[in-house]
Structure 1
């Protein structure tokens, strides 16, 4: 019998400008860039990974930055917001930090917790949520934010759907999450589900918006939400169980740092189930994470062409210069 999903493994988003993306997530949010590689299905563009010091599952935000991509539109059938956790005592720090950086934000309360809502450079909704349930992560000591105020990985993700039913069946019955409750939301009714692990990245909120328009893919939209599983064997169990229930689940994909299967809920949201292993130190030491363009072995013969094609990205503070195209 497979275990329930352990929460969120990573969230993958589309962006338009790799350098602007790097500056925001490393310098504003204080995340470490833990891996620079390419989109395995389109090696002409980067795949950037951010997280805590070692890229712990539940802290990992990844981006496909297609240079010049048009902005997408939030709507039903997709994940629309990513929430990070902070300790409650860090709320004044983040309020002041966003104000000093001239980043607009709003403040609200949700399920008894204070939420700061802002947008990244491409318009994706980000939430910084003060929670007494904050789980400690591996602090990136070379980043711009001290340990006591650093982001503590994901709080969760918000989905927009036209009807709750299919999402509830998926989350409760097939992924083993627990229904927490509901409350009014400016967009409709928000329903919260929680992974039984209760750790980092354990929440999925589903906002039911009957009759509202569908989302349109583009820069600033979430491509998929990846849930965690503990082993390859358990992932196989998920694959067969989901297939038996009519989900169009893919075969296992080797993503170098984890193994993945993908499927789409009837609501339209694209999900992945990813393994924790082998992790980001499989092809470079922890001290060097994110400093080099790492390619899977099947793209290594094309390294020169790829480096000449991808846009130049730099992070002088951490000694990173990758790509040759201005």
Structure 2
């Protein structure tokens, strides 16, 4: 995906950053069978497939973007489906869990939904005491560790619902990413990066986990850092998170943040054009791959709102090879068939 691999601990910042990462932009995972991915994230979780494209660094594989109605930054959970990929291993240097935001009043409804669709899940649990949230943890069909977080802010955000008898009603819909839990060996270095150039605030600790918050964000405002020093290292593969992306607004903010990160001794990549946003990648001190992603131009630049995600969209450099790319990709059911 990227050549960023430096894990040097950042130099602690002494002043408040001029530019802050405004919450999470998206989380990108690796999965197996693409049809099973659509069946689960669209059919069971009720998220909207807002873009059906290919991995820009490997056009032999799909890249699916799931989110709210328009693919708002912070609502996005994206997937690289690799049907013949090896199984990943959860460990140090990886996102250990992705939590998705639901309205607090919808928790009981979702317990019934997961049970009805035979999704193994745990009983609700409270995190970070009275000031924290109640979550239900579960896994997707590839073993991806997920959670539904009862978020009091979520009810104020619009929910999206697809047509169909088994659709998730808009009032209970997943609004987007609530936060991520990073499993790291260098928790100190990770904290210095988050509170330094990235501008997040340390707010609480719960055992070996420390919570950081993006004050300006509604979605994707939580990063929990779990100290797993001495634990085995992670291995990317099916059922694991590939990287986590942070919002930086526009291109100018991205360049400013890139400079701030580079000033700590880390080695961010050059800016990469991802068609729907621009990206910079670097390896954080704890080993997790971070991305800085702009808000725009967004997902409506190449198809209308009504049919987002229905057709395969390719970046310009691959359009001349469309016939060969389509012939190589697995045939998928339509989203209407998935919802049914």
TM-score by shorter chain over 0.5: yes
Match of 2:325 in 1: 306
Report the Cα distance in structure 2 between the residues aligned to 1:213 and 1:65, rounded to whole angstroms. Answer: 25
Report the Cα distance in structure 1 between the residues aligned to 2:162 and 2:153, rounded to whole angstroms. Answer: 25
Match of 1:258 in 2: 277
Alignment of 1:113-152 (within 5 A): 113-134=133-154, 136-142=156-162, 144-152=167-175
Please identify, of 124-133 and 5-14, the stretch whose mean Cα deviation from structure 2 is larger: 124-133
Match of 2:260 in 1: 241
Match of 1:109 in 2: 126
Report the Cα distance in structure 1 between the residues aligned to 2:223 and 2:31, rounded to whole angstroms. Answer: 23
Count of residue correspondences? 316
Alignment of 1:126-275 (within 5 A): 126-134=146-154, 136-142=156-162, 144-184=167-207, 189-275=208-294
Match of 2:7 in 1: none
Alignment counterpart, residue 23 of structure 1, candidates 18, 39, 62: 39
How far off its partner does 1:140 sit? 2.3
C-alpha distance after superposition, 1:277-314 (max 9, x if no partner): 10000111111110011011110110000000000111
Q: Judge conservation of contact 2:51–2:309 (CA < 8 Å) in 1.
A: yes
How large is the RMSD of aligned CA atoms in angstroms?
1.5
How far off its partner does 1:87 sit? 1.4
Question: Which of the pair is proportionally richer in strand?
Answer: 1
Change (3 A) 1:88 1:265: same
C-alpha distance after superposition, 1:118-165 (max 9, x if no partner): 001111101001122326444323251111111121110010011311
How far off its partner does 1:39 sit? 0.7
Report the Cα distance in structure 1 between the residues aligned to 2:152 and 2:286, rounded to whole angstroms. Answer: 32
Q: Secondary structure at the match of 2:320?
A: helix
Alignment counterpart, residue 288 of structure 1, candidates 307, 312, 319: 307
How far off its partner does 1:319 sit? 9.2
Report the Cα distance in structure 1 between the residues aligned to 2:213 and 2:336, rounded to whole angstroms. Answer: 38
Structure 1 unaligned spans of 5+: 321-326
How far off its partner does 1:253 sit? 0.2
How far off its partner does 1:14 sit? 0.6
Relative contact order: is structure 1 or structure 2 higher (C-alpha 8 Å, sep ≥ 6)?
2
Match of 2:8 in 1: none
Runs (4+) off by over 3 Å: 135-138
Normalising by structure 2, report the TM-score: 0.90
Q: Secondary structure at the match of 1:278?
A: coil
Match of 1:85 in 2: 101
Match of 1:97 in 2: 113
